[in-house]
Amino acid sequence: MSINSAQGPRGKSKRFDLIRTWRDRIFFIGFLLAILIGVAGLAALLIDVLVDGLGFLNWKFLTNYASRKPLESGILAPMAGTVWVVGLTAIFTVPVGIGTAIYLEEFAKKNRLTRLVELNISNLAGVPSVIYGLLGLAVFVQFLFNGSRNLTAGALTMTLLILPIVIIASQEAIKAVPSSYRDAAYAMGATRWQVVKTVVMPQAVPGMMSGIILALSRAVGESAPILIISSLVWVTFVPTSPDSKFTVLPLQIFTWVSQPQEDFRSIAAAGIIVLLLILLGMNAVAIWIRNKYQVRSE
């Protein structure tokens, strides 16, 4: 009797263990498949682009302007335009984005108004980029610059596009700073600005920087707003000032892909490789900054 009653529950738990192990395996395989789909897709895309474009990627391609002949085409103008747009966008975005995040997290009272502002920021992060292009055309090009479709107008439009992302990322970075740190500083008689400056910022900078650079990477890849702001796809000069006309890499790639000649698709693939390298470079910088400041702050 006593043996039986002891076996009963043990048998049950064995069966249960078996089900648990199976369930574990099924979910393991399921999750593995989920990631493999993404990785395989990315790998296929990369291989396709590399096979098509690598042969066309040479020094001439980087230093020539676009041409109607695929083999003489280069990406100097759009590459320079992209660097300009990203640089100006960073200058506009960083102070406003970080400032907004600090204000919302550290200074603003949590009332209905700030909740409304935060809700709006999250909504703005989901607005399609082409809408920002139209807004930029109306506000910056037509109103602010009197019809001049210049780099500053493009960068300001991109700023509107990525500002919500930067604000949200910076807010998250600030929120991740343990409140005990702040409390300790306040207990020592620090003012709010002192707390922000000496306690919150050093801890939050790595997170903010990765957020900012990822947002800027998005700006690098956007073509729709720039198509509306600049519309130029054949430019034979490097912009020399913020009020210069310009074009950007995604726009040039977009134009090449839609040309009838087959070779332009290979040239477009070479352009994609350059764009990917720029993006990888920016992400590397983000990681480098994060690691550097993480070590410092510890």
Partner 1 sequence: MIQTISINNSKTVLIISSLFLSVMLFACGGDDAGENSQLASKKSSEITIDGSSTVFPVTQAVAEEFRKEHPDVQIPVGISGTGGGFKRFTVGETDISNASRAIKPEEAEQAGSNGINFIELRVAWDGISVVASKSNDFVDCLTTEELKLIWDAGSTVDNWNQIRADFPDKKIRLYGPDTDSGTFDYFTDAINGEEDRSRSDYTASADDNTLVQGIAGDGGSIGYFGYAYYVENSDKLKLLAVDSGSGCVLPDIGTINDGTYSPLSRSMFIYANTASIDRPEVKDFLEFFMNEGGTLAEEVGYVALSAADYQSNIELINAQ
CB-nearer residue toward partner 1: 202 or 221: 202
Write out the binding residues for partner 1, residues 254-273 only, by CB under 8 A.
255, 257-262, 265
Q: How many residues touch partner 1 (CB under 8 A)?
A: 43
**Per CB under 8 A, 201 contacts partner 1:** yes
Write out the binding residues for partner 1, residues 179-198 only, by CB under 8 A.
197-198
- Closest distance of CB 16 from partner 1, Å: 52
Q: Which tokens is 59 given?
A: 């020094």
**Per CB under 8 A, 152 contacts partner 1:** yes
Q: Which tokens is 226 given?
A: 């720039």
CB-nearer residue toward partner 1: 191 or 261: 261
Q: Which tokens is 98 given?
A: 């970080």
Q: Give which of 150, 149, 196 is closest to 173, Cα–Cα.
A: 196
CB-nearer residue toward partner 1: 191 or 236: 236
Dist CA 26 CA 8 (whole Å): 27
Q: Which residues of 116-134 are buried (b: 16+ CB within 10 A; e: fewer)?
A: eebeebeebbeeebeebbe
- Closest distance of CB 19 from partner 1, Å: 47
DSSP, res 56:
G
End-to-end C-alpha distance for the chain, whole angstroms: 63
Stretch near partner 1 under the rule CB under 8 A, chosen from 39-47, 60-68, 121-129, 218-226: 60-68
∠ Cα 66 71 75 (to 5°): 30
Write out the binding residues for partner 1, residues 219-238 only, by CB under 8 A.
227, 230-237
Do 218 and 275 meet the contact criterion of CB atoms below 8 Å apart? no
CB-nearer residue toward partner 1: 168 or 235: 235
Interface residues with partner 1 (CB under 8 A)? 66-68, 88, 91-92, 94-95, 98, 147, 152, 197-199, 201-202, 205, 227, 230-237, 240-245, 247, 255, 257-262, 265, 296-297
